[in-house]
């Protein structure tokens, strides 16, 4: 599908892309670059990339697909660095969790004749670094393709076919809409998990290690999410500021309403609220939209 693919930033997403590309046989040579010597050495040691280069420009020379896999806040600098070697007809894409900020940071560095097609695979784990990737990460996951105005249709379709070969389902989305949707489904939930784990840690002296020892599944999931890469998430909140603040504002209002209901002993309010949220979850399962759910494919119990 592409003769030479360059991966810039060799962490969870780039390494998963490499193994998925090898599984699918969709790329000729895959070159890679990471900022630190240690990461480049690890990549060489584990056979991550056909060739690991010492500069981003060297990795991108002659590439017909370049994928920026660095934290969102580093995308602009990397784009400036590789600009001189980008050949007409090549595609530059990225995997950043925020799209408007990446378009603004990278777009100005894309030379005439080079296709710039941002994308965001909705797949990840709390792990990071070159050894954390695996070929199946994108299987049956969405990858949101966010073409900029004037993007070449054939280049977009080629990138979509590429991601589909890596196991993903693709859909196109406008950048601002993407950032709002992700603020709801990913960014704010991460912030809530970080906060909850912080609260538990504040209580550590009272509860000792019992917080973790006896933690139920919900809190354990919070601690998993709160173990995600701090640089990546710092950049997500700094670059998706407006949408995240909007959703956080709404979240806080709902939380205050629930807090008040608890204080006032308003059981009806609580029951009504939880009935409503349960119906939302069941709707998702019934629509077949959560294939990871343990109850996926089973008929939901109506009156449990």
Ligand X SMILES: O=C(O)C(=O)C[C@]1(C(=O)O)C=C[C@@H](O)C=C1
Positions touching ligand X (CB under 6 A) are 97, 122-126, 186, 225
Tokens 């792990």 correspond to 127
Among 45, 46, 54, 77, binds ligand NAD (CB under 6 A): 77
In the three-class reduction of DSSP (H, G, I as helix; E, B as strand; rest coil), residue 174 is classed as coil
136 neighbors 18 (Cβ within 8 angstroms): no
- From CA 85, how far away is CA 75, in angstroms rounded? 16
- From CA 224, how far away is CA 212, in angstroms rounded? 12
Among 63, 95, 144, 175, binds ligand NAD (CB under 6 A): 95
Tokens 């308003």 correspond to 266
Of the pair 53, 69, the CB lying nearest ligand NAD is at 69
Residue 186 interacts, among ligand NAD, ligand X, none and using kind-specific CB cut-offs from 5 to 8 Å, with ligand X
Residues 223-282 touching ligand NAD, rule: CB under 6 A, are 229, 232
Of the pair 259, 291, the CB lying nearest ligand NAD is at 291
Residue 193 interacts, among ligand X, ligand NAD, none and using kind-specific CB cut-offs from 5 to 8 Å, with none
Residues 14-53 touching ligand NAD, rule: CB under 6 A, are 14, 34-36, 39
Residue 72 interacts, among ligand X, ligand NAD, none and using kind-specific CB cut-offs from 5 to 8 Å, with ligand NAD
Of the pair 12, 90, the CB lying nearest ligand NAD is at 12
Closest by alpha carbon to 102, among 76, 84, 67? Answer: 76
Of the pair 54, 242, the CB lying nearest ligand NAD is at 54
Task: Estimate the crossing angle of helix 241-264 against helix 267-286, to 10 degrees.
Answer: 130
Per the rule left: phi > 0, alpha: psi between -120 and 50, beta: everything else, 107 is alpha
> What is the distance in angstroms between the CA of the first residue and the CA of the last residue of the chain?
50
Of the pair 54, 290, the CB lying nearest ligand NAD is at 54
What's the closest the beta carbon of residue 158 comes to ligand NAD, in angstroms? 21
Closest by alpha carbon to 74, among 51, 97, 45, 40? Answer: 97
- Residues making contact with ligand NAD (CB under 6 A): 9-14, 34-36, 39, 69-72, 74, 77-78, 95-97, 121, 124, 128-129, 229, 232
């Amino acid at each position: 599908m592409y003769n030479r693919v360059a991966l810039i930033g060799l962490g969870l997403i780039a390494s998963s892309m490499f193994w998925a590309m090898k599984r699918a046989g969709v790329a000729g040579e895959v070159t890679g670059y990471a900022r630190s010597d240690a990461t480049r050495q690890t990549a060489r040691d584990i056979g991550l990339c056909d060739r690991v280069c010492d500069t981003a420009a060297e990795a991108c020379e002659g590439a017909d697909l370049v994928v920026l896999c660095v934290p969102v806040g580093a995308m602009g600098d990397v784009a400036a660095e590789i600009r001189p070697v980008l050949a007409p007809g090549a595609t530059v894409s990225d995997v950043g969790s925020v799209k408007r900020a990446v378009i603004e940071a990278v777009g100005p560095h894309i030379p005439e004749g080079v296709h710039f097609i941002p994308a965001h695979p909705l797949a990840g784990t709390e792990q990071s670094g070159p050894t954390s990737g695996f070929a199946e990460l994108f299987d049956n996951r969405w990858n949101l393709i966010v073409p900029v105005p004037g993007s070449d249709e054939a280049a977009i379709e080629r990138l979509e076919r590429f991601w589909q070969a890596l196991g993903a389902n693709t859909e196109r989305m406008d950048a601002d809409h993407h950032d709002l949707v992700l603020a709801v489904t990913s960014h704010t939930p991460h912030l809530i998990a970080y906060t909850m784990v912080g609260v538990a840690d504040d209580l550590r002296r009272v509860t000792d290690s019992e917080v973790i020892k006896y933690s139920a599944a919900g809190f354990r999931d919070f601690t998993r999410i709160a173990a995600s890469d701090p640089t990546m998430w710092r950049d997500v909140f700094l670059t998706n500021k407006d949408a995240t603040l909007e959703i956080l504002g709404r979240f806080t209002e709902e939380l205050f309403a629930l807090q008040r209901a608890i204080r006032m002993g308003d059981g009806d309010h609580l029951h009504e609220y939880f009935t409503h949220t349960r119906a939302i979850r069941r709707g998702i399962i019934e629509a077949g939209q959560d294939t990871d759910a343990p109850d996926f494919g089973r008929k939901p119990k109506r009156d449990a």
